[in-house]
Amino acid sequence: MIWKTIKVNFHRLGSPPTFYRLAEVLAPWLWGGFAVCAAIGLYQALYVVPPDYQQSDSFRILYIHVPSAWQAMAGYVVMTILAVIALVWRIRTVEIMAMAGAPIGAAFTFICLATGSLWGRPMWGTWWAWDARLTSMLVLLFIYLGIMGLYAAFEDRRKGARVACILILVGIVNIPIIHFSVEWWTTLHQGATIRLFSGESTLHESMMPPLVWMTIAVKLMFGAALLDRARNDLLDQDRRKGWVQSRLGETA
């Protein structure tokens, strides 16, 4: 009985107007949650946590660099799950959500690369190193851009979304291989590789709370931005449909 209710409600989510309304209600709460968590995290990261004894204040970059890197990868996993659902059950709202994840994931990959570069300059003395993590992050950025480009290149939005979903699946098989091969390559070619996170596992307890807050904040933000973008895509594609027309009729 309960199972049936859940199932019916889940299927209702596949209907654009229902999804749109849910996203409209949910997104502001997620943005709000992001703002609260980020405020706490940033305050702790910038004011409470003492400077590192080796890296001084530059280690504070960790609090945005690491959550962004995690989210760049977690975002891809989310997109993969959505892509599988979209390809198997052909639910249009899920296709749109999978596509909405790509620009956000690309944004986090970009933050990760940019802040990593800004961290590397004072610590290693160079903006860029052909380190395994850096290189695979750069490749991930290109995969994200490829997905966005492929989706945008189709005139038929649905077809574009499905084809790009196949690319997402191909990418998830490849990302571990790329990471592994690049790691091998750097250890082969460079001898002593600069390790970005040599201190990560030994991070002192007093340094942990801001990292946790920022990670939660970034996850909430991903969800909020995903819903916002998916909502816009629905609105754009369904602009001639009745539900959009009547919605705008009410608000106008």
Partner 1 sequence: MIPDFEYAFYVWTSYGIFAAVIAWQFIQPQLRKRRIEAEVREERALQTGSYE
Partner 2 sequence: MIVRSMSALIARDLRLAIRHGGESLMPLIFLFSVIILIPLGVGPGPNLLAAIAPGMIWVAALLASLLALENLFRPDLDDGTLEQWWVGQCPAGALVVARLFSHWLITAVPVIVFAPLAAQMLYLPAEALPVLVLSLLIGTPILSLVGGLAAALTLGTNRGSVLLSILVFPLIVPVLIFATGAVSAAADGMSARAHLGLLGALLILAITLVPLATSAALRLNIE
* Binding of partner 2 by 185 (CB under 8 A): yes
CB of 170 to partner 2, least distance (A): 6
Q: What values do phi and psi take at 200, rounded to 5?
A: -65, -50
Least distance from partner 2 to the Cβ atom of residue 162, Å: 5
Nearer to partner 1, 131 or 186 (CB): 131
Among 60, 162, 219, 229, binds partner 2 (CB under 8 A): 162
Give residues with Cβ within 8 angstroms of 84, minimum separation 6: 169
Nearer to partner 2, 4 or 189 (CB): 189
Using CB under 8 A as the binding criterion, the count of chain residues that bind partner 2 stands at 30
Burial annotation 87-112 (CB, 10 A radius, 16+ → b, else e): beeebbbbbbbbbbbbbbbbbbbebb
Give which of partner 2, partner 1, none residue 167 binds (C-beta under 5 to 8 Å, depending on kind).
Answer: partner 2
102 binds partner 2 (CB under 8 A): no
Q: Which residues of 36-66 are buried (b: 16+ CB within 10 A; e: fewer)?
A: ebbebbbebbeeebeebeeeeebbbbbbbbb
Partner interacting with residue 46 (select from partner 1, partner 2, none; CB below 5-8 Å by kind): partner 1
CB nearer partner 2, residue 2 or residue 188: 188
Q: Return d(Cα 146, Cα 135) in angstroms, integer.
A: 17
Which of 56/126 has CB closer to partner 1? 56
| Residue 199 touches which member of partner 1, partner 2, none, C-beta under 5-8 Å by kind | none
Q: How far is CA 246 from CA 19, 20, 86, 175, 238, in A?
A: 16, 13, 27, 44, 12
* Closest CB to partner 2 among residues 27, 91: 91
